[in-house]
């Protein structure tokens, strides 16, 4: 007889982490947007220094968004490696490992 399947604690934790990472990535994607748009309007600050600063802010905004997406992608990859259901023994072992008792 096969052992009944139960929710995988590691999978559950990773789903929580993914939700948090997605939320933070969404925040990051908009972090510099208003500043960059205001600077690009030419009504806030103008001149060579303003142009250079705006380009740097825009570059940082894009880089930060890419890095945040890489975190989301990494968590998604890890989530795919862990099935949503495992045997009770596997779930118990995962709980012990997550608690640092292994």
CA atoms within 13 A on the CB side of 1: 2
Nearest 5 degrees, angle CA 91-CA 96-CA 99?
125
Range of the domain at 18: 5-98
Please report the pLDDT score of residue 2 as a whole number: 85
Please report the pLDDT score of residue 14 as a whole number: 98
Please report the pLDDT score of residue 84 as a whole number: 98
What pTM was computed for the model? 0.85
Contact 45, 63 (CB under 8 A): no
Three-state SS for 46?
coil
Number of domains in the chain: 1
pLDDT tens by residue, 18-63: 999 999 999 999 988 999 999 999 999 999 999 999 999 999 999 9
Q: Report the distance separating Cα 70 and Cα 80, nearest Å.
A: 15
Please report the pLDDT score of residue 101 as a whole number: 79
Please report the pLDDT score of residue 83 as a whole number: 98
């Amino acid at each position: 007889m096969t052992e009944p399947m139960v929710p995988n604690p590691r999978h559950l934790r990773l789903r929580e982490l993914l939700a948090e990472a997605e939320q933070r990535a969404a925040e990051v994607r908009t972090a510099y947007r208003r500043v960059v748009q205001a600077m690009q309007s030419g009504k806030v600050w103008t001149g060579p220094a303003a142009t250079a600063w705006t380009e740097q802010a825009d570059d940082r905004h894009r880089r930060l968004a890419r890095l945040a997406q890489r975190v989301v992608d990494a968590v998604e990859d890890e989530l795919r490696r862990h099935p949503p259901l495992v045997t009770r023994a596997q779930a118990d072992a995962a709980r012990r490992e997550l608690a640092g008792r292994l």
